[in-house]
Structure 1
Amino acid sequence: MEQIVTKSLTGYPLVTAFVAVGLILWVSGIISKKLTFGRVHASAIAIVIGLILAYIGGVATGGKKGISDITLFSGFAIMGGAVFRDFAIVSTAFGVRLEELKKAGLAGVVALVVSMVVAIMVGAAASYAFGYTDPVSMATIGGGAATFIVGPVTGAALGASSEVIALSIAAGVVKSIAVMILTPFVAKQAGLTNPSAAAVYGGLMGTTSGVAAGLAATDPKLVPYGALTATFYTGFGCLVCPSVGYLVLNAMFG
């Protein structure tokens, strides 16, 4: 029986990866409900668990792909690769209509644009401060400061190194986790009590996963409104960061 189970798990690595993610989310949900009483969303806990497992896998195997270097979990290399990333981007873009964005009002649009500009500026400044002074690296890490999807998309478009792309993803993941965890604690002070405020908040924060999880822990009824503008934020960033953002940075530092 043990051999049959082992052969099945290693023979279908992508299916195994999905099963593992499902188990992690299930455990994260229990931890969120029992230990934090829903104040820290399960998504944030799941991401932290994933990062810990990736580190353990890398240390245990001495490899460069985290837990996917372990044969049993090799499917994570596909699941976490560019194919599924691009699929998520396309699915997100097709799931939203321009007419729906208008419902967020002018405030949501302004929040979207201002937040994107600020994110790219902050990310580019951090990149420059740590020695990555070429426009490609600055634009890529600036995109990562927007979301962990915009960063690698920008890096792939501009030909950034894998090291820089990894840093951009790390920046986006940190932002996402921070938004997930902090949103319930600042919701009252930020006035997150109605759909309009949630839509503006989604445009300001930008990270779809972080906003959705944070609002879910605050008030599940607000999630669609915050996720709406946050979704546009990702698509908007994938358009402007490798183009306008890079051109501006290239004119300043090229």
Structure 2
Amino acid sequence: MSIRVLGCSGAIAAGCRTTAFLLDEGVLIDAGTGVGDLTLGQLARIEHICISHSHLDHVVSIALLADAVMNIRGAAGRGPVTVHALPATIAALRDHIFNGIIWPDFTRLPSTEQPVLDFAPFEVGDRLQLCGREIEVLPAAHTVPAVGFAIRGKQGYWVFTGDTGPNPALWKRLAGLDVHFLVIETAFGNDDLELAQVSGHLCPSQLQIELASLAPGVLVYVTHIKPGERTTVMAELAELAVDQRLDALQIGQVMNFG
């Protein structure tokens, strides 16, 4: 099993891409701007997209991917790419993106009988079986309905928190999982604690409290840092007293585990 980091920034700038992970070759976890670095052939091999929440930095490439691969998949007689998300997230995508105003409705194109996109709702606690992998839907605490994901491997679980503030429900669930990798967000520096709280994100002081609920030795990667905050956040993370090693997630990084 491999997970490639296509994007891990909280916004765009030179060298920064927003959140997207490629699981093996067939599954996207979120669909931020980093998806655009895949070749057309790689895009055409994606069968499933799991979306954590409806914010633009996590969903923008669903629309562009559908447009890019429609003819290729149609010529090959392949079925639709399935977008898995909370019902509220699917409703937001239908109402605000695939509405014929912002973007065409690719759940009806090139035809209603053979569309390039399909939506499949899930709920927190569901275990999805996608391309031979088990993906559990985890709770998140954000400003819109949101989730994280845990992907099961032979060595344990790769866990992505999604965009989240302090989240007791997550740690309650993770206590029952053998977590190998934890990808957790820290969007702002400590000076922006109030902004982090209002916007449903973490800053380093909050992350320290959250990680007290995590077993020692778990590999922790910090994601979703705003480009202008990176130097501050990394300096503050280096000062944290935690039982885990913290590293900033890097675009292009590949995490391999059984």
TM-score normalised by the shorter chain: which range applies? under 0.3
User: Which one has a bigger Cα radius of gyration?
Assistant: 1
Larger strand proportion, structure 1 or 2? Answer: 2
Larger helix proportion, structure 1 or 2? Answer: 1
TM-score, length-scaled by structure 2: 0.27
TM-score, length-scaled by structure 1: 0.27
